[in-house]
Structure 1
Amino acid sequence: MKQGPSRRLCLVAFAAVLCAACDTPGVTLVDPDVSNPEDQGTTIHVTLEDSALAEALGWSQGVPNAELQLHRMIEAFQPDHFYTDSTGHVHVPERMPGYHLVAAFKSITADEAAAAGAVPRVFADGLKTEFLGNTLQLALGGDQRGSLVISETYSGGRTYGIDYQWAAFWELYNNSDTTVYLDGMLLGRAFGGSSGAIFTCEELRQVREHPEGLVAFDFHQFPGTGHEHPVAPGQAVTIAVDAVDHSQAHPTLPDLTIADYELEGSGDPDNPDVPNVPPAGLNTDILGHGMQQFEFDTKFLALPVDPASLTTIPFGRYRWSLVPTDRIIDVQHAEYMHPESPPHPELFYPCPRWVNREFDRLEAASDKAFDHDNATSLQRRILRYTPDGRAILQDTDVSYFDFVIAKYSPGSVEY
């Protein structure tokens, strides 16, 4: 191709400017394709919330060798794994835009714990963020014994091969050293889910992150007046939607005739040998079996309270009950996350959180929609055992790390 006079003049002028720049003091030409990798991406710093414990463990600068998981939420669930250096820092290469799940976890051995005068411990934190900036801070909270904890949840036959909702169950476990009584406690389902299609995250904030407690859609209240329904240390109790043998409906479903309680409904099969837990919320299941359970919702256990005394919050087409923060004992939050799971639909809003961080910092990964044999549930991990062999379950208020997907086991803790 021939070059006209004007094109040749432009090339000559550009070469002259380039040579001038080479000879100009203080001017450095940089190849645009060459850069320092540390100038891109994010540096994440992981610390302990408990500064005194951090000092005792020698972690004042940061938590060493903490596991970090990152997951871009519009992708199939296959999180990337990183580990912090000796000062609690880790550099993450530049990420694609979009909401990211960020979670950090650290466990200490018995020898490390002895230096701090404690038993083996675990620490965790998690959040979701639009990502990421140059720096990000995570402060790990420690495990706590608590009293009663939600130890297992199973949502029944909600798979592609079978749509059977009545085999769901909850399991509670006494994680303390003293007997606890279920009398008057609430077991319920709070506002929460994986995403919203009708309201934006900001519009939902008033109910999903209420500053005074959990906004509950429906709940049941245990019978008794104070000391009629004991749970001994290390004992697990199972609450079934229907306490019948569901394997008769499908061989992969559990036999829940062994349940300790069943939810009372207006039209469900009643097992006369199993005590009922009546509904007490403003909303009840229209199918008549008691409160339903979903894999992607927020479940809670609360101390005894008069349901009539709870503040009513109208939202959408329903009225909701506000369960005060000081009555909440435990919360489990889960969301569909699976290597084969589809991304969030574009019309949905994946909100940064669905409950206040003081209840739960990051939801657990649930794969029930892809578990075609109905065999798995979400189960709280065993942290350690007491000298007499009693399991102490992990409770960091980070469901993402506290729960594991495993073979359902109503009435016992195994993982």
Structure 2
Amino acid sequence: MAVTLGLAAACDTPGVTLIDPDVAGRPDSVTFHVSLHDTLLARALGWQHGVTGAEVQLHRIVDPFQPHILYTDSTGNAYISNLFPGLYKIAGYRVLSGQETAPTGNIVRAFGDGFKQRISGGSNVSLTLATDREGSLVISEVYYGGLTHANDYYWARFYELYNNSDTTIYVDGMLLGYAFGTAYSAVLTCEENWAFREDPAGLWSIEFHQFPGSGTEYPVTPGQVVTVAVDAVDHSLADPTLPNLSQADFELEGSADPDNPDVPNMPSRGTYTNPLGHGMLAGPTHVMFLALRVDVASLVTQVHMQGHRHVRIPTERILDVAHGMTETPDSDPATYLPTYYCLSWVNRDFDRLESAVYRPGNDNRVSLHRRVLRTVAGRPILQDVNTSRLDFRIGLYSPGRIQY
């Protein structure tokens, strides 16, 4: 059962405002035009002039998280008037219905785009939707447990992978970590951090762990879930709202954590080790990544002006990225904003726009889930339009299972 929002379903999002589209031509109206990047597919779908029925999501960054939802007309346009000027998070989304799938071989496909842009009356905004990617190992769930826990208990966090392909994939030697993202954004400008945030050659990281194995020891079959725990123990013994992770597939190695002898360890391979001694503790503002095996010692490193040496994980080795940002439906989001709010926390080739992360009612059981797009022979196929804002949703944690 979902706790709350589906960002792509207006009725699931608290505070969503549905917009009357009949405001075209007003001098203060903002026009959004949605097109498809794949022009051949657009023509086959009858969208050569614009994507019909696409959802456009708008959220002004300085406002509580109560997004406007618009829908495009037959020309791919949507309009809104009386919009407060400012910096907005904008996302465009469309999923084919079963009756529209003939051009895609009767396969339900999703399309998405997202970015931040300053908007004022009379603005024109263009969104170009990318088609969902197929056949990969993806990050399927991230649980940031402990952030609202009375005792600041962080050790119940887990990260989950899913084989979204139809072939067996081996995780041996892969890297799981977080990239530069919002680091130092409270003290350095976006321009000063740009080279580390938006490098097209790769993701800069100080903390990541490596899966064990020499090549074929840890297979992941199609539709299989892999749970990586910070600590692979039953955390519900500490608090009933926390998950039992004693059956996790892997656990992060740390200097002070309770080691489960039945669960393989993932040693730290970065240039930084969390001093709390439990391994990597990624939070909602981190840019999580999964990367193929690479010789870490051979990678390019560079010292950031704040003193930490970062390692660049090459673009061609990156398998997946998941990216979130704390949003608050009923309080002032300015309390969560870094001093400098950059247009991108990561290069668009990796992820176009971060997901909304919050806990309805401060429910400590909430995590970030990748959406199920369709089902093939009983096996979920998860959505990956390279836009975390659209690919992920909020729901109750479900270690070892695909729930949403």
TM-score in same-fold range (> 0.5): yes
Measured against aligned partners, the alpha-carbon deviations of 1:92-116 in whole angstroms (never above 9, x if no partner) come to 2142232101111011112211144
Distance in 2 between residues matched to 1:227 and 1:392, nearest whole Å: 24
Partner of residue 120, structure 1: 108
RMSD: 1.7
Give the 3-state SS of the residue equivalent to 2:381 in structure 1: strand
Contact 2:41 2:103 in 1 (8 A): no
Measured against aligned partners, the alpha-carbon deviations of 1:165-191 in whole angstroms (never above 9, x if no partner) come to 100000000000000000110000111
Out of 320, 329, 332, which is 1:330 matched to?
Answer: 320
Partner of residue 51, structure 1: 39
Partner of residue 370, structure 2: 380
Measured against aligned partners, the alpha-carbon deviations of 1:239-283 in whole angstroms (never above 9, x if no partner) come to 000001111111100010010000001111100010000000111
Out of 229, 252, 256, which is 2:218 matched to?
Answer: 229
Partner of residue 106, structure 1: 94
Distance in 1 between residues matched to 2:89 and 2:38, nearest whole Å: 23
Partner of residue 360, structure 1: 351
Runs of 4+ in 1 over 6 A off after TM superposition: none
- 1:135 shift after superposition: 1.1
- 1:341 shift after superposition: 3.9
Out of 125, 132, 136, which is 1:143 matched to?
Answer: 132
Contact 1:338 1:367 in 2 (8 A): yes
Give the 3-state SS of the residue equivalent to 1:38 in structure 2: coil
Relative to 1, partners in 2 of residues 1:389 and 1:44: Cα closer, same or farther, differing over 3 Å?
A: same
Out of 132, 144, 147, which is 1:155 matched to?
Answer: 144
The yes-or-no answer on 1:179 pairing with 2:157 is no
Distance in 2 between residues matched to 1:192 and 1:173, nearest whole Å: 23
Distance in 1 between residues matched to 2:309 and 2:135, nearest whole Å: 31
Distance in 2 between residues matched to 1:347 and 1:56, nearest whole Å: 44
Relative to 1, partners in 2 of residues 1:244 and 1:116: Cα closer, same or farther, differing over 3 Å?
A: closer
- 1:347 shift after superposition: 7.0
- 1:317 shift after superposition: 2.3
Contact 2:250 2:264 in 1 (8 A): yes
Distance in 2 between residues matched to 1:344 and 1:327, nearest whole Å: 36
Contact 1:57 1:116 in 2 (8 A): no
Out of 379, 383, 390, which is 1:394 matched to?
Answer: 383
Question: What TM-score, normalized to structure 1?
Answer: 0.88
Q: Which stretch of the first structure deviates more once superposed, 129-138 or 206-215?
A: 129-138
Contact 1:195 1:348 in 2 (8 A): no
Contact 1:195 1:350 in 2 (8 A): no
Question: What TM-score, normalized to structure 2?
Answer: 0.91
Relative to 1, partners in 2 of residues 1:194 and 1:267: Cα closer, same or farther, differing over 3 Å?
A: closer
Out of 58, 72, 77, which is 2:60 matched to?
Answer: 72
Partner of residue 313, structure 1: 302
Q: Which stretch of the first structure deviates more once superposed, 251-260 or 116-125?
A: 116-125
Out of 83, 89, 92, which is 2:80 matched to?
Answer: 92
Partner of residue 348, structure 1: 339
Contact 1:156 1:165 in 2 (8 A): yes
Distance in 1 between residues matched to 2:47 and 2:24, nearest whole Å: 29
Partner of residue 238, structure 1: 227
- 1:194 shift after superposition: 9.0
Say how many residue pairs are matched. Answer: 379
Contact 2:200 2:349 in 1 (8 A): no
Distance in 2 between residues matched to 1:341 and 1:189, nearest whole Å: 28
Distance in 2 between residues matched to 1:406 and 1:148, nearest whole Å: 21
Query: What letter corresponds to residue 404 of structure 1 in structure 2?
Result: R
Query: What letter corresponds to residue 363 of structure 1 in structure 2?
Result: E
The yes-or-no answer on 1:261 pairing with 2:261 is no
Partner of residue 164, structure 1: 153
Relative to 1, partners in 2 of residues 1:383 and 1:194: Cα closer, same or farther, differing over 3 Å?
A: farther
Query: What letter corresponds to residue 317 of structure 1 in structure 2?
Result: G
Contact 2:177 2:205 in 1 (8 A): yes
Distance in 1 between residues matched to 2:363 and 2:241, nearest whole Å: 6
- 1:408 shift after superposition: 0.3
Relative to 1, partners in 2 of residues 1:214 and 1:229: Cα closer, same or farther, differing over 3 Å?
A: same
- 1:36 shift after superposition: 9.2
Give the 3-state SS of the residue equivalent to 1:130 in structure 2: strand
Distance in 2 between residues matched to 1:234 and 1:341, nearest whole Å: 39
Distance in 1 between residues matched to 2:215 and 2:283, nearest whole Å: 30
Distance in 2 between residues matched to 1:342 and 1:271, nearest whole Å: 41
Measured against aligned partners, the alpha-carbon deviations of 1:21-77 in whole angstroms (never above 9, x if no partner) come to xxxxxxxxxxxxxx9962113211100000000000000000011111101101110
Contact 2:145 2:365 in 1 (8 A): no
Which 5+ residue runs of structure 1 have no aligned equivalent?
1-34
Partner of residue 26, structure 1: none
Relative to 1, partners in 2 of residues 1:160 and 1:390: Cα closer, same or farther, differing over 3 Å?
A: closer
Distance in 2 between residues matched to 1:212 and 1:116, nearest whole Å: 32
Distance in 2 between residues matched to 1:194 and 1:110, nearest whole Å: 43
Relative to 1, partners in 2 of residues 1:36 and 1:233: Cα closer, same or farther, differing over 3 Å?
A: closer
Relative to 1, partners in 2 of residues 1:282 and 1:194: Cα closer, same or farther, differing over 3 Å?
A: closer
